[in-house]
Structure 1
Amino acid sequence: MSAGHHARDRESTSRRPLVIGLVVLAAVLAALITREAVSSDEAAACTSRPEATIVAAPGLAPALKDVAAAMTEEGRCSRITVKAQESSTVFAQLLATDEDSPTLWVPDSDVWVDQLAAEGIETEVLAAALASSPIVLAGGPSTTAPSNWFAALSSGRVVMADPQADSASAMALVAPRAERETSGVSDAEVQARLVPLAQHYGERASAQQPVAERLAAVSSTTKQMVPVSEQVWLEARRANRRVHAVVPQTGTFLQRYPLLGVSAGTDAGDSPAVAEFLDYLSRPQGALVLADHDLRDKTGAALPGGVGIGYVSELARPSAAEIRADLRMWDVLTVPSSLLAVVDASGSMDFKAGANTRMQLAMSAAGTALQAFPDNARVGLWLFSIDLGDGTDHRELVPLRRLDKSVGSDTQRDTLRSWLGKALDLTGGGTGLYDTTLAAFRSAQKDYDPDYFNAVVLLSDGANDDPGSMRQADLLKALRDEADPERPVRIIAIGISEDADMKSLEKIAEATNGGAYEARDPRDILEVISKALLAR
């Protein structure tokens, strides 16, 4: 069955005529008799019994135990012991140079090889794959195949586990990068998509359901989809017939299980037990044992008997550096944001930018950004122009609070949305940039929260033209002198239109280890904010 279609399961087997069944039975009996004779001879011929202990991911360990048992039954000389352990646990042991770290390890993805290399831990790849399983999107009966992974992740329906611990989610995270040529999605769009996805995950991380529980709870009305391996989906479907699986039309990754030698100074690659084990897995009987556990062989060929998702088009894996970058970015972005938005309300913001004014477009973009942030984000709003406030160049419209915090009968999000409309009537005067910047920086420091990424988002369309304000040099000195490594606050400066004083904004941002970005069109503000968060 081609990728992008619903899958079948074990019920798709057919009945065979009785006569064929009798012939097969006779053949099986003959094979068993022959095997018993051969096994007895081989066992008697063993002059030694090489041993090896393999630590394997829980999804593969039962199959490998059965392979080891089958080898013993056939009279193979080697004795293989298989222990199950989560890949993330073994990875942590290896990082800590734990004395209990395994010598032979089969993680649930070859992504772990790159992760170890990034940490300076050398591994010996004894087999690129012992088994494989394609990544699918599991959901309710109405689940349909998205056109590509980018569309799936942009839909708001994909529920991710932690990609740092769950290989299926890690592969789903990097899949949009692998399909760029066919999807037509740019690298910048792929990166921008990470921002809301990671931040919404960060909001729910402490309350995340285990994948097995989430699949068990799938109902006829479930709209969400979970990235899992074909093997995990088939296991879940036996208990819950409503769980269906699809693959995006662009294809998917194969989750490969490599065999690694991971302890320095060992000669695992020369082990006779390992060689015999790999030999058995490469034979048809090895593939049958894997299939009995809903696992494909190392080639990724479809499971026999019409079981599973069928044929899949395999995506080319991104480079190790790209995968590491995406996983690191995910780690950074799951930390919630605390943003004090400080928006230029000088008279020039009433200048036309197409059919609307700069201020109208800026407030519209701010509204779109507001929708993208999760409830645990903290957002406040200031406007600034000369003498806008009571003796100051700024006016606080909404103080910094969580978006889900109650403000009267509304939430902080509702209050901000309301003020974005009212702000259109508050423009006028000159640009009081310098005094406002320092005041906002100090305010963000006062409201600093160590559990958040704390920043001032400064939007301006012009140079400072307040004759009574502090000098730029004094502002930069104050920002550097008052910076507190224990309470870091960065300034994200966004210049709106070609009139923006980008040189000044760059100096201001640099003084706080922040960043300056240019948005010639105010409608680009959302993309610029995404870039700024990605760069943190």
Structure 2
Amino acid sequence: MSGRTRGRPMVTFAAAVAGVLALTGIGGYAFAQIAGCAAEDRITLDVAAAPEIVPALAAAVRRFDGHTGTCARARLRPADPAAVSTLLSGRGGGDRPDVWIPDSTLWTAFAKPGDVRPSIANTPVVLATAAPAEPTWNLLLGPAAATAEGRPESAARGPGAQVPDPSRSAAGLAALLMADRLVAGVPDGRAVFTGLVRAIRETSAPTVEQAFATSGAARDGAVVVASEQSVFRHNRTRPGVRAYGAVPREGTLSLDYPFMIVVREGDRVSAAEKLERELRGERTRADLSGHGFGIGTAEPSWTPKADDVQRIAQAYARLSLPTRLLVLFDISGSMGEEVSPGLDRLQATAQVGRIGLHLLADDSEIGVWEFSTDLRGSQDWAERVPIETLGARAGSGTQRQRILDDLGRLKVKESGDTALFESLLAAFREVKLTYKPEMVNTVLVFTDGRNDHPGGPGFDRTLADLRAEYDAAQPVQVILQGFGDDVNVTELTELAEATHGIVQVARTPAESKRLLLEAMSRRVCTPGC
């Protein structure tokens, strides 16, 4: 009896509190705090999202914050997906978010964020142009293929392709993945890929707004890799400079905005799951659609594997390194042998050199030597063009044009022998002495492949010197391309391998070109090839 008497005031007090709450409009959330969720109320979820999707999620986060019975809050902030990926991989500093909504699952190839859940939105990667078109990835690959085939520089430049930096943009990375897929098995496919990387590096990584903000960009026929949603956003904010985005006929990848729970503490995971339910609700779907996003998970024609994503990203990083290259041309008498009507060995290798030059960006540093015997007194090699940046001014033109012009003036020394070993050592030492760590430092030698200079160092001494002087901390790689049937492959292979380089043997001009393009693309694995 006494127990029932003592219980009545408590029931009365609770009812009174509930009545006050109802009258004041504080409602069930405040009552839940009084009932015991004050500890949970201290949870503030840190939600890092790709910047372009933040406006579409803002209302959903406000609904989550005010939801009855939800004691957690969410702090939604824009965050560069590449930066968060670096952070979660352990290579960057800063606080890990509780929830991460990047623009693409591709970033999970570099960092394992925790619980990766299905996408909340999607948008395909498209090619945007200044006029309606039925685009194809050949708008990007065509100019690169022209370079690989040795067509004129004007043809190789193409329609001004602009690709966002693949190291920072999922759309740019998706473009490279598509390119890799399309050139697989194609003759000179690696060279085409290398040419595409050059084109990307030489073009700034603009937004759609930057690319189409001027009449000049439209008039020049710019082709911009972008997401469909970014084209939508551009047209809504700048209707006077309209862009047209379409999926290439070969297919594409999509940005898929997965919901990732990074945090592992139980109460925070529970709060993140509640937020996820809000972001998948009908009102959020409507918000996303209103901002130009597709809803949920797209149905891709293919899904890149994590290993492929890493491989392409690493290839881009390696191929993006500027080259520092000293090229040696053998001008000994045997290089005058005709290899096709009206074309001798030296002329053929000079043509190949021109093609290789087109694959190099303007910030590459290139120089040219020739070698035979007694070219400068008793010296068997001579500098024709000093190593300089290709885009640098040289007289009335650039270093690139200076080299192109010089290659047309190479002449065979009919009485000259092949002082290969001595010239190779001199070139290796020159590049090592002037080594630049931010570049790929290489010596490339075109020769008919056999040292026949009795006055210079022999094979054993040359090999010993290369092995002793090679420095893995400052690697200088030697690439030797022999032309013809007299190449001493055994000797040249040992010399190249002393510097982690390669030997190539060509018997026709076409084969020489193909081998050089392979060598240029080989930087993907240098120096661990």
| 1:91–1:284 CA distance, 2 compared to 1 (3 A) | same
User: 2:309 and 2:393 mapped to 1: Cα distance?
Assistant: 40
User: 1:104 and 1:336 mapped to 2: Cα distance?
Assistant: 37
> Which residue pairs with 1:453 in the alignment?
440
Number of paired residues? 473
Secondary structure (helix, strand or coil) at the match of 2:51 reads coil
Give the 5 Å matches for 1:514-533: 514-520=501-507, 521-533=511-523
User: 1:201 and 1:400 mapped to 2: Cα distance?
Assistant: 24
User: 1:442 and 1:373 mapped to 2: Cα distance?
Assistant: 23
Alignment partner of 1:123 is 2:121: no
Secondary structure (helix, strand or coil) at the match of 1:398 reads strand
| 1:486–1:179 CA distance, 2 compared to 1 (3 A) | closer
Q: What is the letter of the counterpart of residue 131 of structure 1?
A: A
After TM superposition, give the deviation of residue 470 of structure 1 in Å: 0.9
After TM superposition, give the deviation of residue 272 of structure 1 in Å: 3.7
> Which residue pairs with 1:321 in the alignment?
307
Aligned 8 A contact 2:372 2:419 in 1? yes
Alignment partner of 1:535 is 2:525: yes
Aligned 8 A contact 2:211 2:222 in 1? no
| 1:290–1:189 CA distance, 2 compared to 1 (3 A) | farther
| 1:189–1:522 CA distance, 2 compared to 1 (3 A) | closer
Q: What is the letter of the counterpart of residue 273 of structure 2?
A: A
User: 1:147 and 1:203 mapped to 2: Cα distance?
Assistant: 19
Q: Deviations over 1:67-125 (max 9, x none)?
A: 23345677574755222211123223332574621121111111111111xxxxx4323
User: 2:355 and 2:73 mapped to 1: Cα distance?
Assistant: 58
Secondary structure (helix, strand or coil) at the match of 1:252 reads coil
Secondary structure (helix, strand or coil) at the match of 1:161 reads coil
Alignment partner of 1:412 is 2:403: no
Alignment partner of 1:252 is 2:252: yes
Alignment partner of 1:175 is 2:178: yes
Residue from 52, 57, 63 that aligns with 1:59: 52
> Which residue pairs with 1:234 in the alignment?
232
Give the 5 Å matches for 1:351-390: 351-355=337-341, 356-390=343-377
Secondary structure (helix, strand or coil) at the match of 1:423 reads coil
Secondary structure (helix, strand or coil) at the match of 2:257 reads strand
Residue from 280, 296, 299 that aligns with 1:298: 296
Q: What is the letter of the counterpart of residue 54 of structure 2?
A: A
> Which residue pairs with 2:6 in the alignment?
none
Q: What is the letter of the counterpart of residue 213 of structure 1?
A: Q
Secondary structure (helix, strand or coil) at the match of 2:161 reads coil
> Which residue pairs with 1:86 in the alignment?
80
After TM superposition, give the deviation of residue 53 of structure 1 in Å: 3.8
Residue from 211, 216, 224 that aligns with 1:214: 211
| 1:375–1:72 CA distance, 2 compared to 1 (3 A) | closer
Alignment partner of 1:342 is 2:324: no
After TM superposition, give the deviation of residue 360 of structure 1 in Å: 2.3
| 1:53–1:534 CA distance, 2 compared to 1 (3 A) | closer
Aligned 8 A contact 1:142 1:220 in 2? no
Q: What is the letter of the counterpart of residue 522 of structure 2?
A: A
Higher RCO (Cα < 8 Å, 6 or more apart) = 1
Give the 5 Å matches for 1:9-24: none
Aligned 8 A contact 2:335 2:412 in 1? no
User: 2:102 and 2:520 mapped to 1: Cα distance?
Assistant: 33
Q: Deviations over 1:231-251 (max 9, x none)?
A: 111111121433222322101
Listed as ranges, the gaps of 5+ residues in structure 2 are: 1-25, 145-157
User: 2:377 and 2:65 mapped to 1: Cα distance?
Assistant: 86
Q: What is the letter of the counterpart of residue 297 of structure 1?
A: I
Relative to structure 2, which stretch is displaced further, 236-245 or 41-50?
A: 41-50
| 1:138–1:481 CA distance, 2 compared to 1 (3 A) | same
After TM superposition, give the deviation of residue 435 of structure 1 in Å: 0.7
After TM superposition, give the deviation of residue 327 of structure 1 in Å: 0.8
> Which residue pairs with 2:150 in the alignment?
none
| 1:172–1:459 CA distance, 2 compared to 1 (3 A) | same
Relative to structure 2, which stretch is displaced further, 188-197 or 250-259?
A: 188-197
After TM superposition, give the deviation of residue 230 of structure 1 in Å: 1.0
Q: CA RMSD in A?
A: 3.2
Relative to structure 2, which stretch is displaced further, 232-241 or 401-410?
A: 401-410
TM-score, normalization by structure 2: 0.80
Residue from 85, 108, 125 that aligns with 1:113: 108
Residue from 467, 489, 493 that aligns with 1:480: 467
Secondary structure (helix, strand or coil) at the match of 2:466 reads helix
User: 2:512 and 2:87 mapped to 1: Cα distance?
Assistant: 49
Q: What is the letter of the counterpart of residue 237 of structure 1?
A: N
Aligned 8 A contact 2:356 2:517 in 1? no
| 1:266–1:188 CA distance, 2 compared to 1 (3 A) | farther
After TM superposition, give the deviation of residue 456 of structure 1 in Å: 0.7
User: 1:256 and 1:123 mapped to 2: Cα distance?
Assistant: 16
User: 2:92 and 2:322 mapped to 1: Cα distance?
Assistant: 32
After TM superposition, give the deviation of residue 126 of structure 1 in Å: 3.9
Aligned 8 A contact 1:201 1:334 in 2? no
User: 1:99 and 1:528 mapped to 2: Cα distance?
Assistant: 41
After TM superposition, give the deviation of residue 172 of structure 1 in Å: 0.7
Relative to structure 2, which stretch is displaced further, 343-352 or 68-77?
A: 68-77
Q: What is the letter of the counterpart of residue 176 of structure 1?
A: A
Q: What is the letter of the counterpart of residue 527 of structure 1?
A: L
> Which residue pairs with 2:11 in the alignment?
none
